[in-house]
A and B are shown apart, each in its own frame.
Chain A
Amino acid sequence: MSTAHALLGLLEPAPRHGYDLKRLFDRYFAPDRPLAFGQVYATLGRLERDGRVVVASVDQAEGPERKTYAITGAGERDLDDWLRDPIDPEPHLQATLFTKVTLAVLTGRPVTKLLDAQRHAHLARMRELTTLRRDAALPVALLADYALFHLEADLRWIELTAARADELGRVIPPLIADPATAEVRPTSVETSHA
């Protein structure tokens, strides 16, 4: 997620305070994981440095000063480019889960156990999202759907891989310790596993 572009987009219709931006950002893009204030101001600072936003006014009536940020012409062009360019189709062929599965096979660990644990973790997250979307406004429900469909895709891969776990073990047999280097293996570290 490009927080910078999201903030630029929220600033395009009208200048806003940092607090307003955070509130809008959380509502539309991060309903269950609110953005930290620090991240909002750090991102605005970078955008200001790059000339994509400017501080339009500073309100110092009471309490801490409140800056109102406005998007610049350069910021609008950047936002426009970002919205127009398609994002790189994901995922790439370096997924963590894939690495875990391959390493499990290479080191002789049971793949099924790993996949079972991941299935439960995925479904637990999907349950949270399903609960969230039920009472959510449409934009949030659609965001939850987006996450749900991606998790479901992972789960389809998990099921396929579970069904082919034995075959995978035959195709990539476990790595065997090289007798020449085995004796220098550290003995102080616990190396056994189930």
Chain B
Amino acid sequence: MPDIAVLDPDTPPAVTPRPVQDSHGRVVLAGEGLVKRFGQTEALRGLDVEIARGEILAVMGPSGSGKSTLLHCLAAIIRPDAGRVMLDGARIDDLGEGDRTKLRRRRFGFVFQFGQLVPELPAIENVALPLLLDGVARTEAQARAAELFPQLGLDGLEQRRPGEMSGGQAQRVAVARALVTQPGVVFADEPTGSLDSLAGEQVMELLTDAARATDTAVVLVTHEPRIAAYADREVVVRDGRIATTSGR
């Protein structure tokens, strides 16, 4: 029986601010001995990794090294074939599909490279979406979403649709959406991959400022050194394992 407590640490989970005290240096998320195969290919081969609360960790490595598979396992998107994923000390990899969906919605935020905003919805509704999906009333969801706009330099863009914004603005809306549930961990997979240098830097500054202000951990998958330099620490994945890690 999976540990359901991990899904509902707060009541209701989506509206109670996370406590940030007594958390310094504590491991929030860990992958232990992760193995994942796709047919004959072994994408992860007994990989171990730990992310401390509030830590920004860059995951680097050549194409096909297993870094995206690692992110998908840690984020409970896919289940590893062996090993465990622990969130705040509770196992999450063995949860059923429905529980993992809830967990991702409540405890995790996601920023991907492309196409993650709903084109028909104005920015404010895109940001409020994870709360609405989790049953938070519309007025409250939008009020909480609105709080993030100034923090991410998006003042006045609340009613714009994704097509009416620049790439950098749209990506900052995606960052706001990832943070709106006050998740413990944000997963960012090449979050600046579609942006020019200047817009990319701005997204990273705002993402890392917001994460640090709220003690949110960030797992940042990137092949760009300039983006990895925003992290506190980097690990390099090679052949499905952590090949090397920088000191904390």
Contacts and interface: CB of A to CB of B under 8 A. Distances in A.
Given A120-B234, A130-B226, A155-B225, 8 more contacts: A116-B244, A119-B236, A119-B244, A120-B246, A124-B246, A126-B226, A127-B231, A162-B62
B246 to A, nearest CB: 4
The 9 closest A-B pairs by CB, nearest first: A126-B229, A116-B244, A155-B225, A130-B229, A120-B246, A152-B225, A127-B229, A152-B226, A123-B234
B243 interface: yes
Interface of A: 112, 116, 119-120, 122-124, 126-127, 129-130, 134, 148-149, 151-152, 155-156, 159, 162-163
Given A159-B62, A162-B62, A163-B62, A120 B228 contact: no
Contacts of B246: 120, 123-124
A109 B37 CA distance: 32
Contacts of A127: 229-231
23 contacts: A116-B236, A116-B243, A116-B244, A119-B236, A119-B244, A123-B58, A123-B228, A123-B246, A124-B246, A126-B225, A126-B228, A126-B229, A127-B231, A129-B229, A130-B226, A130-B229, A148-B226, A149-B226, A152-B225, A152-B226, A156-B225, A162-B62, A163-B62
Nearest to A126: B229
A151 B230 CA distance: 14
Contacts of A116: 236, 243-244
Please report whether the interface of chain A is mostly helix, strand, loop or mixed according to DSSP: helix
B205 interface: yes
A116 B234 CA distance: 11
Nearest to A158: B225
A122 B225 contact: yes
Contact of A130 (B230, B234, B236): B230
Contacts of B236: 116, 119
Q: What size tier do the contact residues of chain B reach? A: 10 to 19
Contacts of A163: 62
Interface in B211-248: 223-226, 228-231, 234, 236, 243-244, 246
A154 to B, nearest CB: 9
Interface in B199-219: 205
B195 to A, nearest CB: 16
Contacts of B224: 152
Which of B224, B226, B229, B243 has the most chain A CB within a 10 Å cutoff? Answer: B229
Contacts of A134: 205
Nearest to A149: B226
A167 B205 CA distance: 39
A148 B243 contact: no
Contacts of B234: 120, 123
Nearest to B63: A163
B83 to A, nearest CB: 24
A169 B198 CA distance: 39
A194 to B, nearest CB: 15
Contacts of A122: 225
Contacts of A124: 246
B62 A151 contact: no
A73 B225 CA distance: 46
A155 B229 CA distance: 12
A135 to B, nearest CB: 11
B221 to A, nearest CB: 15
A124 to B, nearest CB: 7
A127 B208 CA distance: 13
A123 B244 contact: no
B168 to A, nearest CB: 17
A123 B225 contact: yes
A149 B224 CA distance: 11
B157 to A, nearest CB: 23
